Amino acid sequence: MVAHSRITRKGASVTVESVLFIGGLIASILFFASFYNLAIYQIGNVFSTSEKAFAGDLKSKISMVYSSKQDNVEYMFDTSARTYRLTVDERRLSIKYPAREPVSVLLSQDIQDADIENSEKICIRKTGGIIELKGGRCLRICNINDDICDKGCRLFDVCDPKCKDCEGSDV
């Protein structure tokens, strides 16, 4: 009879150990699933904050160019190479991102409708009191210290030495 109760105890301890192992395994899976969801949530918040900041920064630069006392003003806005689609329609600037909610801001300035996609730079131009957004570099921006021939320098009567038709050009 004593031998029988020892067998029962061994069988019971194996069962208890199996239940504890399975319970620990389930608890570990739930812990890592919760941690994963928390990490994904935090990453989503970082991207959302960054996307709202992008729209807010662009809106403030548009206001800065619009409030300039000069009429022909340009500002080149760096988008930091994002994947986006920017549209302006009836003074509403909307930025759409892949697999994310779009971000929209309302502009108070007179602005032309625009459609820009994945441009690394956005040229903000004020002409005749109206703002225009174009993807790419501003043509009138003049920087004689870079390695690019800026044809816009001619508008300011400045000779860019990187241009072939500039006096003293190395090219």
Lay out the sheet containing 85-89: strands in order across. Answer: 103-106, 92-96, 85-89, 114-117
Query: Do 15 and 64 lie in a common domain?
Result: yes
102 with 60, same domain? yes
Same domain, 89 and 55: yes
Same domain assignment for residues 99 and 15? yes
Please check whether residues 127 and 146 belong to one and the same domain: no
Residue 49 scores a pLDDT above 70: no
DSSP letter (8 states) at residue 2: H
Model pTM? Answer: 0.57
Confidence class for position 113, pLDDT limits 50, 70, 90: very high
148 lies in the same domain as 109: no
| Cα–Cα distance, 35 to 116 (Å, whole number) | 38
- What's the rounded Cα separation, in Å, for the pair 142 and 55? 26
Enclosing domain of residue 89: 2-138
The partner residues of 103 in beta bridges, in order of sequence, read 95
Q: Are both 64 and 109 inside the same structural domain?
A: yes
The verdict on 146 and 159 lying in the same domain is yes
Helix (H, G, I), strand (E, B) or coil at 159: coil
For residue 85, the model assigns a pLDDT of 92
Report residue 117's pLDDT band, with 50, 70 and 90 as the boundaries. very high
Residue 72 sits in the same domain as residue 117: yes
pLDDT of residue 115 exceeding 90, the answer is yes
How many structural domains compose the chain? 2
